[in-house]
Amino acid sequence: MTDILVVTGLSGAGRSQAANDLEDLGWFVVDNLPVVLIDKVVELSGEAGGEIVKLCLVVGNARHQTAILEAVRSLREQGHSVRILFLEASTRELVRRYEATRRKHPMSDGLMGLEEVIESERIAINGVKAFADLVIDTTGLTVHNLRNQLVHLFGPENPGDALQVSVMSFGFKHGVPIDADMILDVRFLPNPHWDENLRPFSGLDQSVKEFVLGQDLSDEFLERIDGLIGLILPAYMQEGRSYFTIGIGCTGGRHRSVAMVEEVAKRLTAAGYHPRVTHRDINA
């Protein structure tokens, strides 16, 4: 059965932000979903051939949320694992957010002031809050704080899965990749290009790997990369980043950088990450 998370709560309390964060964590998110469509969406997710195992349903404002409890009961009776996450914030904080963004509250009818509208919505969905499995007050939370809580509660068991790490080899003579978060230059290492026996091969071939990784400088360089990775990647996850790309370059992007990328990818895997490897210029 599908693992279902229903995100509810006050307008302006962070439902959309939570939806974005949960999508980054691997949940299939359906935002602003009318309650009458929940059964159909869950039915379709079950027909997706096992592709959707974590389904997040973000329910709209109070007009949609008042019927959520009966829908949840029905899903649980069908054998689904269903949790309700309720997001709230103080009225003062919600007023501040709406004034900062100049957005109109979805329940505003032009007859009540903003504080009255917020309190009216709070009362209308109080029963949903009482039924919720988890309530998060976002009053004092930054977007990073909220993401960290969601990662802890609903993220993958392996923290490395929360950050998609890519490692790319490239040649400086073909240009530096513009999407890399970190650039490492290995042109200080002896170049296999000048060895006629190695020139036809690439850093994917064992003879070139042994040549590049057999240098004393390579050992020290890799040790320092291990330390840098151990420092930076957890910090990036703490800041809510979902992607991190490491670019390793040599002159042509065929020998040294390729061998180094392969080795760095092995070390990332051993550290619990699942790196995506690209050799941009290996055939250039």
Q: Which of 171, 224, 161 is nearest to 25 (CA)?
A: 161
The pLDDT tens digits for 4-29 are 999 999 999 999 999 999 998 888 99
Residue 187 confidence (pLDDT): 97
pTM metric for this prediction? 0.64
Q: Which of 85, 72, 113, 111 is nearest to 13 (CA)?
A: 85
Kindly report which listed range (14-28, 46-60, 93-107, 127-141) carries the lowest average pLDDT score: 46-60
Q: Where are the alpha helices (DSSP H) in the chain?
A: 15-24, 38-46, 62-65, 68-77, 91-101, 114-124, 126-131, 143-154, 206-213, 216-238, 256-270
Kindly report which listed range (121-125, 204-208, 209-213) carries the lowest average pLDDT score: 121-125
Q: Which amino acid is at 1?
A: M
The pLDDT tens digits for 144-158 are 889 888 888 887 766
Residue 235 confidence (pLDDT): 86
Distances (CA, A) of 139 to 88, 93, 268: 8, 6, 37
Structure tokens given for 28: 């299939």
When computed from its CA atoms, the radius of gyration of the chain, rounded to whole angstroms, is 25
Residue 1 confidence (pLDDT): 62
Q: How many CB atoms lie within 10 A of CB 36?
A: 10
